[in-house]
Amino acid sequence: MPIIVLPHNEREERVLLAFLESLEYEYSEEEDLDIPAPPGAKRQTIKEYNQEIAEAEEEYKRGESFTVEELKRKMRP
């Protein structure tokens, strides 16, 4: 069973790796692992996911967003 863990900082990463090694668990430190997607959906790497989040944050900072209420009004016939 694969598990993807994204530590918050380098210290957490070192602690986690030490824990896994102490229990002799196998693990991978690959940055470009595929994130499982629902059937029929495009698979996305962690790098692609992080890029998508960064782009969304920049759009928000530029004011390219709307509230839930605005979305509801846009969706009305």
pLDDT tens digits, 8-49: 899 999 999 999 999 998 887 776 666 666 777 777 778 888
In the predicted structure, residue 63 carries a pLDDT above the cut 80? yes
Tokens, residue 28: 């991978």
Has this prediction a pTM greater than 0.75? no
The beta-strand segments (E) located in 7-69 are: 34-35, 44-45
**Residue 64: Cβ-neighbour burial (10 angstroms; 0-12, 13-18, 19+):** exposed
In the predicted structure, residue 71 carries a pLDDT above the cut 70? yes
